[in-house]
Structure 1
Amino acid sequence: MTSSSELLPVRVVIPARYGSTRLPGKPLIDLAGKPMIVRVYERVKSALPASTVVVATDDDRIHAVLVARDIPCTMTDPAHASGTDRAAEVARRAGWGNDDIVLNVQGDEPLVPPALLQAFAGYCGLARELAMATIVSPIVERDLVNDVNIVKVVTDRNDHALFFSRAPIPLTRDRHRDTTAGDAMPEVFLRHIGIYAYRNAVLQQVTGSPPCDMERREQLEQLRALWLGIPIRVMRWSEHVPAGVDTRDDVARVSRLFNQSNP
């Protein structure tokens, strides 16, 4: 038993899949002299030095790059449909406890803020009854509200997720009444930040269950957990969270930032 003040063990898995429609071999794309997956691992490990951090991959080329740099990594089933499935396999093979907290940090987020990772790990490690958790931040750019690549979230009063959608939620039925001063954004839209935490037993339950209809429609795997009745706690983060790497333009943008900082 852990005391109320003792942090639960937090493990981190970084999924890294070679196949990508827009950027094949994305984990190995060079970002100012280092492969992206190496940048992500170094970012996470520097933020959470006391935590176990493992890269889960499906490709020998990625595995070889990681091994050459002494980065902990595990080869996982190439048939997995998602990074969450890879994280679950790593947890099973490593024999992690049912109550261990498993953080799933995407392998294409080389600019994830260390302070965000530290805050989230602390938030989850102190949550005695946590089943699953994620992060939201305010949407401050009006154009992003209707962007299907930006996932919106609505929560209850206790900051548990009610629903995730690529559509603008909550929708204002009488839009002509939804007025704000000048061009300011209504303070109702929350953006989902794609970092998850699971109690290991819940991670195994979610990945052992088939996709549900609303998950297939939205293409959002977290909806499976809600459909199963698993509560998802939401940590609010008020600071800017840089976008990940999905396009060649993103590669240029992120490389430029690393060159400027000379890490």
Structure 2
Amino acid sequence: MASTRLPGKPLADICGLPMIVQVALRARDADVGRIVVAVDHQEVFEAITAAGFEAVMTRVDHQSGSDRIHEALLKSDPENKAKIVINVQGDLPTIEPETIRAALRPLQNPAVDIATLTVEIDDEAEKTNPNVVKVVGSPISDSRLRALYFTRATAPYGSGPLYHHIGLYAYRRTALDKFVSLSPSPLEKRESLEQLRALEAGMRIDVEIVKSVPLGVDTPADLEKARRLLATKL
């Protein structure tokens, strides 16, 4: 709600519904389990529950999305039934349900702690843009990498594909518990990328390669684009 570029953005209207409700609908269409929306404002809580979804009120001072979903998990599932949690950010109203499902696939390997997504970069400008986070990973298959590093720099060096990280995560519950117990790590603070905390702690992150980057709504221009995209789909 406190977004500086788009104040109140969770409640921004997209095709007649608040953006946060549109995201919840995409999560429902993914059909992978219970949906809980972690919120920190009463207005957002009321919008979610009015649309028939479950909401959990969390603190306003969390430093990261991982901390917020961990609090929501403890409140909504005190009996420890959920073993995997997918964190879908609330500003992805046009995300494809298949993209959400894709985040689960790397966790079929019991050695993987956290799963996330990436797409091959085809725009030359993105390769040197520090706002585009790159995955440096070792190929496991045609559709998956084992993450070795995440960086804002252009990496790895040399010929070959570069990959744009998509910040949607699927955590084993045990991995999320461990992650939020760790202090911010040196590389995390240097790159401003919290996933490096997990890698520095020896946790394994595998990355599923998908076809497109979902639109994140951060500005009024993004909001207009999301409205056009969703209107076309509807």
Aligned position for 1:117: 100
Cα distance change on mapping 1:254 and 1:52 into 2, 3 Å: same
1:140-159 alignment to 2 at 5 Å? 140-158=122-140, 159=145
3-state SS in 2 of match to 1:229: coil
Per the TM alignment, residue 146 of structure 1 is displaced from its structure 2 partner at its CA by 1.4
Q: Does 1:209 find its partner at 2:182?
A: yes
Aligned position for 2:231: 259
For 2:26, the aligned partner's letter is R
Question: Which whole-Å deviations, capped at 9, do the CAs of 1:84-141 have from their partners, x for residues lacking one?
Answer: 11111122221263871111111111111112222333x1453323311111110011
Residues 149 and 166, structure 1, Cα contact 8 Å, conserved in 2: yes
Per the TM alignment, residue 211 of structure 1 is displaced from its structure 2 partner at its CA by 0.7
Residues 67 and 73, structure 1, Cα contact 8 Å, conserved in 2: yes
For 1:195, the aligned partner's letter is L
For 2:230, the aligned partner's letter is F
Residues 94 and 229, structure 2, Cα contact 8 Å, conserved in 1: no
Q: What is the rounded CA distance, in whole Å, between the counterparts of 2:215 and 2:224 in structure 1?
A: 13
For 1:139, the aligned partner's letter is I
Tell me, which stretches of 5 or more residues in structure 1 are unaligned?
Answer: 1-17, 173-185
Q: What is the rounded CA distance, in whole Å, between the counterparts of 2:133 and 2:151 in structure 1?
A: 6
Q: What is the rounded CA distance, in whole Å, between the counterparts of 1:163 and 1:75 in structure 2?
A: 33
Cα distance change on mapping 1:260 and 1:98 into 2, 3 Å: closer
Aligned position for 1:167: 153
Cα distance change on mapping 1:208 and 1:74 into 2, 3 Å: same
Q: What is the rounded CA distance, in whole Å, between the counterparts of 1:22 and 1:249 in structure 2?
A: 10
3-state SS in 1 of match to 2:56: strand
3-state SS in 2 of match to 1:51: coil
1:22-171 alignment to 2 at 5 Å? 22-48=5-31, 50-93=32-75, 94-95=77-78, 97=80, 100-121=83-104, 123-124=105-106, 126-158=108-140, 159-171=145-157
3-state SS in 2 of match to 1:129: coil
Q: What is the rounded CA distance, in whole Å, between the counterparts of 1:200 and 1:96 in structure 2?
A: 12
For 2:112, the aligned partner's letter is L
Cα distance change on mapping 1:96 and 1:198 into 2, 3 Å: farther
Q: What is the rounded CA distance, in whole Å, between the counterparts of 1:258 and 1:25 in structure 2?
A: 20
Q: Does 1:248 find its partner at 2:225?
A: no
CA RMSD of aligned residues (A): 1.7
Q: Among the aligned pairs, what percent are the same residue?
A: 38
For 1:19, the aligned partner's letter is A
Tell me, which stretches of 5 or more residues in structure 2 are unaligned?
Answer: none
Residues 215 and 226, structure 2, Cα contact 8 Å, conserved in 1: no
Q: What is the rounded CA distance, in whole Å, between the counterparts of 2:79 and 2:127 in structure 1?
A: 39
Q: Does 1:234 find its partner at 2:207?
A: yes
Length-normalised TM-score, structure 1: 0.82
Q: Does 1:197 find its partner at 2:179?
A: no
